[in-house]
Structure 1
Amino acid sequence: MTLPDGKITEEQVHRAQAVYSKRVLNIYDVAVLGISNRFIWQCPTPLLLDWFNQHVSDQHLDIGVGTGYFPDHCQFPTDHPSLTLVDLNVNTLEYAGQRLNRYQPITLVHNVFKPFTSLPVNAFNSISMNYLLHCLPGSIHSKAVVFDHVKPLLNKGGKLFGATILNIPHTLVAKALMGIYNRKGIFSNQKDYRDGLEQELRSRFTDVDIQVTGCVARFVASSQ
């Protein structure tokens, strides 16, 4: 549960990311990106990669890095992009950092519920959050504070984009797995719906687009 004033506890935040051990990361691409996305969440990973390719830039910040799959497989608009990786989990940062070593990424351990004080403002042309929001504790409205924290990091016209699993399971299997994940604290998306996501993005950005496939919302937002 969140605190009465809507604040998220440190325990909740650390519980949500603790599942990503080295063992889990070794099977993540197959289990989640290969199987769950296609057969359970009904949004195949190639769709997410295409979305990533459409919006990634030469000055990119990836938040909630997972295994680093998308920066590893995407088509950057330059051979030598500036890449920064942010996550609260040291395991994921090390895993993704090694995978993306060819780009010599900057890595930062950070809790996204807190403002970024170690990164310069107006430094990035794109910021991605893939499968981050549904793992954050709280409702879509309380966790949307992360948008306030990343917006100052974007250059004028820069894009915030990503994907998140909404509480709209289309099959009994998806409903059951989503319930298990929420009870374990791996997910916290029981109050995550498209309308709420769109409301929070539009209150902060001038241009917003959301595409829903299966249980997954792909979003992009920018301010001119």
Structure 2
Amino acid sequence: MIILTDIFEYDKKKDEIGARIQLERKRLRLTQTDLAARISTVDGSNDPIGQSTVANWERGMTLPPIGRLIILAHIFDCDIAYLLGDIKSRKWEHTDINQYTGLTFAAISTLHKAYQQGGTHFPATKLISLMVEEFDFEGISREIFEITELYHRAAYAANLDDTGEFGYTKDGRVMLPVKETMNYKKEQVIRMLNEKIRREIDLVVADVFFSLYEDEIKKTAPGDANTRDG
């Protein structure tokens, strides 16, 4: 994590900082005047800022003072480090997750929103968790690599106008022509994913069903007092 020990270092990054402020302002669909008004309201000082101040920040002519940076981060719901160009994602935790897992910032943000919404969206995040837990990363990666190799071979054959080139398995057995083999492998990957999705959906549905109707299930379970004879 970067420690802001020398704010003067950021004077060299005024253009980048200004671009981040402009990007976040537009994301919230605010005009420069709107943003200036919000900052002044939060600040509560007797010296409100105007549109020209925000314009100067965005053009990289001046830097917001640390107090205004804190307010901007609050308005934009992001970390100050993002506004200062120290991290690529709007949140430190997203940056950490990206570096730890390799997930894109868009994927992390989507998962986070789905989890926050809860309710009907929670089974979806649970499904994704189950899929990732037992995902055959090595197998899928191997298939993708082999498809890439086949694509290269097909392109090479096309340059030679060699439409009769065949693909081979590792033990030397002749398979389908390269392009057909490539399509077959793609279908194999899709089939693997579809089978996993169907299986994990069944698990999630069963789990959600039990959690919703646990009391009713217990009442009708074999051996329950309500179902015994006599």
TM range (shorter): under 0.3
TM-score (norm 1): 0.21
Using CA pairs below 8 Å that are at least 6 residues apart, which structure has the higher relative contact order?
A: 1
TM-score (norm 2): 0.21
More strand by share: 1
Q: Which has the larger radius of gyration?
A: 2
